[in-house]
Structure 1
Amino acid sequence: MAEQHEKALVPQIRFTGFTDPWEQRKLGEVASGFEYGLNAAASDFDGEKKYLRITDIDDQTREFRTDDLSSPDINNPIDDRYLLKEGDILFARTGASVGKTYLYKASDGKTYYAGFLIRAHVSDEADAGFIFQSTLTERYKQFVLLTSQRSGQPGINAQEYSDLLLPLPSLMEQRRIGAFFDRLDSLITLHQRKYDKLCVLKKSMLDKMFPKGGSLYPEIRFAGFTDPWEQRKLGEIAAFGGGHTPSMSDPDNYEGGNVLWVTSQDVKSYYLDGTTTQITEKGAKELTLYPMGALVMVTRSGILRHTLPVAELCKPSTVNQDIRVILPQEDKCCGKWLLQFFISRNKELLLEFGKTGTTVESVDFSKMKDMILRMPSLSEQRQIGLYFARLDNLITLHQRKLELLRNIKKSMLDKMFV
């Protein structure tokens, strides 16, 4: 690839051998149809005819989501005008998803498209993959933002999509660019599937490696462990702590600080190694610096409407008043096991200890201290904790790889399109 910056209709990065400026064309000059979809309700999937609606297009990947397939609810034979074929691109025409696009692939099978979508068929003069990738650029997003403005809900009609101005290179260059992004999308999809499989595996193993109901025996155990799990109160196997907010009117509490200070917005993953705000030694003077391995739980925040955030500290940290700290007693409880216990019981704990009717959602932590846990021996706890820590690490690696690939794609969309 070579870098170019001079001409207005020349991208920053191009494949070697392409030097001509791009030409601006209307989408309607290289595509035809611009037809509205089938006006029919969705019914259970009949095993043959797939029905694609706006909600079936994945917001991130723009692929046809096949986890909840449906068929058009029509008794009579369906007009094949609504049957998608290669070269077809769908455009969402109304509502919050206006502008969302989807490129049909033969691998998606026999697919009909619904009425809130507009179908354009790309001619042989252009590459459908290139046109589709053009709809993921900032230029296209600006077109949607400006064109969709209505007195009611946002919308873009067929004629307006047809009038969309697109800078186009030669057909050969379009094909090279389209193929490049197709390979990149395949790589992203591959890592997304690996990530999803690992998340499903973890959910399944949490369900099977912790006892269900009133049982004292999990469904799956490591070899050599056969004893029943024992019941203990949380307060018997851990100590607890908290914190507060240093005075914000005193800049000496914050400016130039390097002491980690955990707030509810920091507990977004299960392993916490950084905070949005750091405080100074002066700001931390009246706070406890909790050790690496301690657990932090959000006990007061709007996020408690949906989930109970818990994390393990990867570095010594202080906390504010919305966080409670759990310090497992090393001779009784493995912190990594306890973290997975909280993850496995997240929804149940929120239902049992969440406070309702208060101004801000909160958790009754004083009651949580008295809750009964079913626990295996310390050695079994350590094995379980280590297993899930390794699994979490693998999940994080795939998540970071996905983020990297998505960032690469975003950057290349910016630089390979005008």
Structure 2
Amino acid sequence: MAKKKVPELRFKGFEGEWEESIIKDKFKVTRGYVLAVAKTSDVRSDKQPYPVYSSQTKENGLMGYYKDFLYDTAITWTTDGANAGTVKFRKGKFYCTNVCGVLLSNEGYANEMVTEALNKIAWKHVSRVGNPKLMNNIMSEINILLPRNLSEHIEISKLMKSIDSLIALHQRKHDKLLTVKKAMLEKMFPKEGADVPELRFKGFTEKWERLKLGETVRFYNGLTYSPLDVAQEGGTLVLRSSNVKNSEVVSADNVYVKTEAVDSMNVSIGDIIVVVRNGSRSLIGKHALIKQTMPYTVIGAFMTGIQYRHADFFNAQLNTKHYDKEIEKNMGATINQITTGSFKEMEFPFPTDNEQIKIGTYYRNLDSLITLHARELEKLKNIKKACLEKMLV
């Protein structure tokens, strides 16, 4: 069956089939050059004004800034490594390293629309033998469907750019709030050896008291179940490490068991669930606060549940450096786990109930803002994905 050559969704005024093109017929295919990180600057300046892009995908591939540029407005892609085949549009003058391939065009084909179209298919051409690679000779031969009219390129590119700008805006807001939270956690909880925090709400002056968790919070165990207890449909949800992400409960790789196999307590609003055993050491201590009613939901045997009268406060406490140190100190030498006995012996600083309520409310509101921007980000990414599916062939 012949592939369709007309997009499902189109800007008004454009019609006709898109044309099949080979990359080498539309672009000059080249690549970047070796550049030592030491020669770049982390900060843009008059002396080093040009962005340097590398194979990484974080920070949009930005490695630093340099005094010279190689190209002016182009499409780049990662040629080697784990990110091979990742395609990016680069507006303006820039430098890129030798692990970046470059597509140049004097006819306007180096644009956001072509970048997105190429991103959909480039990964299929990556060689997975040994170190992943997508070299220039392979990229040159990739066949791609493009609008015949460059005006249609421009309209689609404008839309993609506007969505990307909104995504970047919410990402900045989200990241800024995370930075604020990290800074406030350091100031609003006592540092090691101190009995008062650096920053407090007005009216609170009492010293914080160090208490063992076994004397302060209530622990409960998770469900042990066998493969025969797993339900194909319905049943009771068993929360595991995959269901905890960024201190939130998420739906991921869900496992359900037959309700009759459940002999552990259901999670409740205000419970804090913690990963206490896992094959990956870095996941031990990962936690989330139950913020809404979750009927027919329990935790698995490799989790522990914590109940405390001021859950928002204690949940914030589990985001501090002190908590991280306690987890590292008490983790098993050979088995990646924290036993309930070890947890109960951990000591944490606690202020008066009223101060706990104040601090807990502050972090609950801050977390709500962070979650709001995270959801907006996800929504915008889904909108972009839907547009790409319907507007590209």
TM exceeding 0.5 = yes
Aligned counterpart, 2:183:
204
In 2, distance between residues paired with 1:398 and 1:357? 40
Residue 299 of structure 1, CA deviation: 1.0
> Are 2:249 and 1:272 aligned?
yes
Aligned counterpart, 2:54:
54
Which amino acid in the other structure matches residue 181 of structure 1? M
> Are 2:21 and 1:25 aligned?
yes
Do the aligned residues in 1 keep the contact of 2:54 with 2:61 (CA within 8 Å)?
no
> Are 2:329 and 1:349 aligned?
no
SS of alignment partner, residue 289 of structure 1: coil
Aligned counterpart for 2:307 among listed residues 314, 327, 330: 327
**TM-score using structure 1 length:** 0.83
Residue 283 of structure 1, CA deviation: 2.1
Show CA shifts across 1:189-232 (max 9, x none).
Answer: 11111111111111111111101021111111111111111122
Aligned counterpart for 2:122 among listed residues 140, 147, 151: 140
In 2, distance between residues paired with 1:250 and 1:222? 50
Measured at CA, do residues 318 and 167 of structure 1 come closer, stay the same or move farther in structure 2, by a change above 3 Å? Answer: closer
In 1, distance between residues paired with 2:188 and 2:198? 6
In 1, distance between residues paired with 2:375 and 2:7? 28
Aligned counterpart for 1:43 among listed residues 34, 38, 42: 38
SS of alignment partner, residue 354 of structure 2: helix
Which amino acid in the other structure matches residue 339 of structure 1? N
SS of alignment partner, residue 273 of structure 2: strand
Measured at CA, do residues 352 and 299 of structure 1 come closer, stay the same or move farther in structure 2, by a change above 3 Å? Answer: same
In 2, distance between residues paired with 1:37 and 1:121? 12
> Are 2:208 and 1:233 aligned?
no
Show CA shifts across 1:52-86 (max 9, x none).
Answer: 3434543xx8x343xx62548xxxxx6xxx52212
Superposed, 1:6-405 pairs within 5 Å as 8-32=4-28, 34-46=29-41, 47=45, 48-49=47-48, 50=50, 52-58=52-58, 63-65=60-62, 69=64, 71=66, 83-86=70-73, 88-106=74-92, 111-124=94-107, 126=109, 128-137=111-120, 139-142=121-124, 144-145=125-126, 148=127, 152-169=130-147, 170-250=149-229, 254=231, 257-272=234-249, 276-284=254-262, 286-313=263-290, 314-315=292-293, 317-328=297-308, 330=309, 334-344=310-320, 345-358=322-335, 361-405=336-380
Measured at CA, do residues 40 and 293 of structure 1 come closer, stay the same or move farther in structure 2, by a change above 3 Å? Answer: closer
Which amino acid in the other structure matches residue 140 of structure 1? A
Which amino acid in the other structure matches residue 105 of structure 1? K
In 1, distance between residues paired with 2:278 and 2:101? 42
- Provide the alpha-carbon RMSD of the alignment: 2.6
In 2, distance between residues paired with 1:398 and 1:94? 33
In 1, distance between residues paired with 2:89 and 2:38? 23
Structure 1: runs of 5+ lacking an equivalent: 1-5, 73-77
Measured at CA, do residues 411 and 288 of structure 1 come closer, stay the same or move farther in structure 2, by a change above 3 Å? Answer: same
Measured at CA, do residues 291 and 42 of structure 1 come closer, stay the same or move farther in structure 2, by a change above 3 Å? Answer: closer
Instruction: Out of 161-170 and 205-214, give the one that drifted further.
Output: 161-170
SS of alignment partner, residue 134 of structure 1: helix
Show CA shifts across 1:23-71 (max 9, x none).
Answer: 1122222222x2232233221535433463434543xx8x343xx6254
In 1, distance between residues paired with 2:108 and 2:271? 62
